[in-house]
Amino acid sequence: VYLAADVMLPLLQRMHEAGVVHRDVKPSNCVRSTGERDFCIVDFGLSK
């Protein structure tokens, strides 16, 4: 859990700095890639 938060929080911060607000952040919208520390945020249907 801490590894995911350690990777995801800076990613969310960069998104917000770029003006993107996801508005539906939850575990099922955070997908782990094939890499060991690679995560992706998916489902931008509610984003602004």
Q: Is residue 29 part of a domain?
A: yes
Specify if 16 maps to a domain.
yes
* Structure confidence at residue 8 as a pLDDT band (50, 70, 90): confident
pTM score, whole prediction: 0.61
Judge whether residue 1 has pLDDT over 80: no
Residue range(s) defining the domain that contains residue 8: 2-41
Q: What is the pLDDT of residue 17?
A: 93
Average pLDDT, integer, range 17-46: 77
Task: Indicate the number of domains in the chain.
Answer: 1
Residue-wise burial string across 14-48, b where 16 or more C-beta atoms lie within 10 A, e elsewhere? ebeeeeeebeeeeeeebeeeeeeeebebeeeeeee
Position 27 in a domain:
yes
Q: Would you say residue 47 lies in a domain?
A: no
